[in-house]
């Protein structure tokens, strides 16, 4: 047992050496363990005590500190606990597309003072958005969309002075839009570096504050669609000269459209449909950047069709249905870029020229013009079938291969397990869904991005284009692996991260976009022919750690063996080591072997003949070695003049002394017997065998 206790410190020393050899800060490792200990479906290579040195999937480090946690699309399950604050050097946290991550986001997330990017897109988080996020002063990217967050938009978000992307869409947020006030409380109007306000598909109420916009802002996308907002469109909106996309559709807005909106020279898409706007139809003449206008389903005054509908040079789509527009529609001239003109449910009575067949899609159903006899057979009087496009990326001059279960044939006719998801445009600038050139441009931009990031992608496929229930344009995206039939964890993480953090930049007609990744269940190994992702330093560190372990284990074993031998030798030299020590036993103690005992030996082994050293017990009590000596030499008168100078007497070989214990002595021996067997020697008293049998 003593040897085991002595080996334990050596094992502890070995553990400390391995920790020193680790490339990961011990506090970060402990914090990561606490954060993820209850998570399910963690990456398979998360083993060992060194995330940084072992190249754990999704972990990036700098100077032994964990700085990035990139884990989108892994089907993780569990909760985001307060242990996240232990990773104090984090600058990037991305847990997107893990629908199994639920519960609330802890207030402690506000302690990550170095965080620059926080992406929790498409998870299952709920509860209130923590106020503490407002203390993340270095944050530039905040995406909390497509969750179940409730409560109000925290005022503290107004403190995020460096934020560029703010996406809170598709949640259950309610209450008013916060702006700064005279009491010093912050609001969204203070976000002067923001390019994106994405807050559609919530339950926001109240008005759009006039103070929300100002000329110091550089906003490009303002999306507040599908809420419960009331009041008018603020005139201050026109002061943000950088605006490109405005969506206020599907609210309860009233009043007129501010005339000064025509000052927004960069405005490309404007959605104001499904409100209760009134007054005159806005005049967008001169807004040559406009590509998409939807003012349908409002209460504008009855009027003729405005001239800008056919003259704006870049306009692809104009939707003015259900607006009491009347008179004649002049199609003698129109822009060549026009793809769709939807004037359904108005009061149009005439088409000029009557027999003109436009090159764009014209919709005039439920107008007086289409109620005339025989007019229902005209193409523009028929109610169109929604989403008529059935586009799917074609093959690249090859025949599709028959594939196994769950596998899909790629555009290059290779069977594989693609990484899939929905690629969604929130403000599409075209309407001709059957025009394949848009999809080909989108496919090429995706492939260019993947190649620039050195991601092993063979090809991409787009399919099933349609407008969803919130008027966003969706496409199914399949990304196929290269050199193998499936992606490894690193491949999926990299693709998902590029899309969740808006690193991929689509063509202008598809911006702004979001991606919703599906769970990937076909993880494989490294692609054929690829090299290990571990760097030389990691390999060297691992080898050193193994060598240190082996050497220390060898010395620990040698030390333990030596101690064991020493203990055995010591036991052999101790004549009393094998005496029975049970004081309740009446068995006679047995001395193992015969040997010489010097006087010093006896004094040593009996603690100077102390009576506390019991050598036996019986029915008459206990006896010590000291009392045994006194019994043999009661007066000491016949001892040598110099006492026991060298050694005691030699007892007759094989003498067996048997007697019962008497009170006060362990052995009673006849003096006659002892006189006959003891002989006096001047220099020593010796014995060959000192065996006692009781």
Q: Residues 290-346: pLDDT tens digits?
A: 999 999 999 999 999 999 999 999 999 999 999 999 999 988 888 899 999 999 999
Q: What is the pLDDT of residues 505-517, one digit of tens each?
A: 999 999 999 999 9
Cα–Cα distance measured from residue 480 to residue 412, given in angstroms and rounded to the nearest whole number: 10
Following DSSP, what letter does each residue of 388-449 receive, concatenated?
----BPPPSSSPPPP--TT-EE-TTS-EE--EEEEEEESS-----TT-HHHHHHHHHHHHHH
Cis peptide before 353 (omega within 30 of 0): yes
Confidence of residue 622 (pLDDT cuts 50, 70, 90): low
pLDDT tens string 30-51: 999 999 999 999 999 999 999 9
- At a CB cut-off of 8 Å and minimum separation 6, what does 37 contact? none
Least confident range of 159-168, 318-327, 368-377: 368-377
- Using only C-alpha atoms, the chain has a radius of gyration, in whole angstroms, of 45
Nearest to 485 by CA among 446, 523, 530, 529: 523
| pTM of the model as a whole | 0.75
Measure the CA–CA gap between 670 and 187, rounded to whole angstroms.
111
**For the purposes of burial, counting CB atoms within 10 Å of the CB of 656, is it exposed (0-12), middle (13-18) or buried (19 or more)?**
exposed
Let me know how long the chain is: 694
Average pLDDT, the chain: 82
| Cβ contact 167:144 at 8 Å | yes
Tell me: pLDDT of 660 over 90: no
Which range among 80-89, 164-173, 556-565, 573-582 shows the weakest confidence by mean pLDDT?
573-582
Residue 154 has pLDDT above 70, yes or no: yes
Highest mean pLDDT among 229-233, 646-650, 655-659: 229-233
Q: Are 430 and 339 in contact (CB under 8 A)?
A: yes
Contacts of 227 (CB under 8 A, 6+ apart): 199, 200, 201, 202, 203, 204, 205, 250, 251
SS3 462: strand
**Considering the chain, what percentage of its residues have pLDDT values greater than 70?**
72
Q: pLDDT, tens digit, for every residue of 442-475?
A: 999 999 999 999 999 999 999 999 999 899 999 9
Domains within the chain, CATH numbers bracketed: 22-205 (3.80.10.10), 408-517 (3.30.70.1440)
Instruction: Supply the pLDDT for residue 356.
Output: 73
CB atoms within 10 A of CB 328: 14
pLDDT score at 300? 95
- Nearest-CA neighbor of 614 among 666, 663, 661? 666
Asked, as a colleague might, if the bond just before 273 is cis with ω within 30 of 0, I would say no
* C-alpha atoms less than 13 angstroms from C-alpha of 518 in its C-beta half-sphere: 14
Predicted confidence at residue 564, as pLDDT, reads 66
- As to burial, measured by CB atoms within 10 angstroms (0-12 exposed, 13-18 middle, 19+ buried), residue 75 is middle
Is the distance from CB of 588 to CB of 616 less than 8 angstroms?
Answer: yes
CB 166 within 8 A of CB 194: yes
What values do phi and psi take at 540, rounded to 5?
A: -60, -45
Tell me the residue ranges of DSSP E strands in 248-371.
254-255, 269-271, 276-279, 292-294, 299-300, 303-304, 317-319, 325-330, 340-342, 347-352, 361-363
In degrees and rounded to multiples of 5, residue 334 shows phi and psi of: -160, 160
Q: Are 58 and 119 in contact (CB under 8 A)?
A: no
Q: Tally DSSP H helices, then E strands, for the chain.
A: 9, 34
């Amino acid at each position: 047992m003593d040897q085991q206790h002595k080996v334990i410190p050596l094992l502890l020393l070995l553990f400390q050496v391995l920790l020193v050899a680790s490339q990961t800060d011990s506090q970060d490792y402990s914090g990561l363990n606490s954060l993820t200990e209850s998570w399910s479906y963690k990456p398979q290579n998360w083993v060992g005590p060194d995330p940084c040195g072992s190249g754990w999937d999704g972990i990036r480090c700098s100077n032994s500190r964990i700085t990035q946690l990139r884990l989108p699309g892994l089907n993780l399950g569990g909760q985001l606990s307060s242990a996240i604050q232990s990773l104090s050097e984090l600058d990037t946290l991305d847990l997107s597309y893990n629908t199994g991550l639920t519960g609330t986001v802890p207030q402690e997330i506000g302690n990550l003072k170095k965080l620059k990017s926080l992406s929790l897109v498409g998870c299952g988080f709920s509860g209130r958005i923590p106020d503490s996020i407002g203390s993340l002063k270095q944050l530039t990217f905040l995406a909390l969309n497509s969750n179940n967050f409730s409560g109000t938009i925290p005022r503290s978000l107004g403190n995020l002075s460096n934020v560029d992307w703010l996406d809170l869409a598709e949640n259950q947020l309610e209450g008013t839009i916060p702006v700064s006030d005279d009491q010093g409380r912050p609001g969204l109007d203070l976000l002067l570096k923001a390019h994106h306000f994405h807050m559609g598909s919530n339950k926001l109420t109240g008005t759009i504050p006039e103070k929300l916009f100002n000329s110091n802002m550089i906003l490009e996308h303002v999306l507040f669609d599908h809420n419960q907002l009331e009041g008018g469109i603020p005139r201050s909106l026109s002061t943000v000269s950088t605006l490109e996309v405005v969506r206020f559709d599907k609210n309860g807005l009233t009043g007129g459209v501010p005339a000064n909106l025509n000052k927004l020279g960069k405005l490309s898409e404007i959605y104001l449909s499904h409100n209760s706007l009134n007054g005159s139809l806005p005049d967008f003449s001169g807004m040559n950047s406009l590509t998409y206008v939807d003012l349908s389903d409002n209460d504008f005054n009855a009027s003729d069709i405005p001239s800008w509908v056919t003259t704006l040079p870049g306009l692809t789509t104009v939707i003015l249905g259900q607006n009491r527009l009347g008179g004649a529609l002049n199609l003698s001239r129109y822009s060549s870029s026009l793809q769709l003109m939807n004037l359904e449910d108005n009061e149009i009575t005439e088409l000029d020229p009557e027999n003109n067949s436009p090159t764009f899609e014209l919709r005039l159903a439920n107008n007086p013009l289409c109620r005339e006899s025989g007019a229902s057979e005209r193409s523009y009087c028929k109610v169109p079938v929604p989403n008529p496009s059935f586009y799917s990326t074609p093959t690249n001059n090859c025949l599709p291969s028959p594939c196994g279960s769950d596998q899909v044939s790629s555009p290059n006719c290779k069977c594989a397990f693609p990484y899939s998801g929905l690629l969604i445009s929130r403000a599409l600038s075209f309407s001709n869904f059957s025009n394949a050139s848009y999809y080909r441009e989108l496919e090429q931009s995706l492939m260019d991005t993947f190649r620039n990031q050195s991601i092993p992608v063979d090809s991409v496929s787009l399919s099933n284009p349609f407008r969803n229930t919130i008027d966003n344009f969706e496409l199914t995206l399949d990304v196929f692996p290269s050199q193998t039939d499936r992606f490894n964890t690193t491949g999926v993480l990299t693709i998902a991260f590029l899309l969740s953090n808006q690193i991929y930049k689509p063509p202008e007609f598809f911006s702004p976009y979001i991606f919703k990744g599906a769970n990937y269940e076909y993880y494989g190994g490294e692609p054929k022919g690829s090299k290990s992702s571990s760097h030389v330093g990691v390999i060297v560190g691992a080898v050193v750690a193994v060598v240190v372990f082996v050497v220390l284990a060898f010395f620990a074993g040698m030390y333990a063996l030596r101690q064991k031998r020493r203990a055995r030798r010591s036991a052999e030299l101790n004549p009393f080591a094998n005496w029975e020590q049970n004081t309740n036993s009446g068995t006679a103690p047995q001395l193992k072997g015969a040997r010489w005992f010097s006087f010093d030996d006896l004094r040593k082994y009996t603690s100077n003949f102390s009576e506390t050293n019991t050598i036996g017990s019986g029915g008459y009590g206990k006896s010590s070695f000291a009392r045994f000596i006194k019994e043999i030499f009661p007066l000491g008168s016949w001892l040598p003049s110099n006492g026991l100078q060298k050694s005691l007497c030699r007892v007759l070989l094989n003498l067996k002394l048997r007697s019962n214990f008497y009170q006060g002595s362990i052995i009673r021996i006849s003096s006659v017997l002892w006189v006959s067997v003891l002989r006096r020697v001047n220099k020593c008293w010796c014995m060959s065998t000192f065996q006692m049998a009781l």
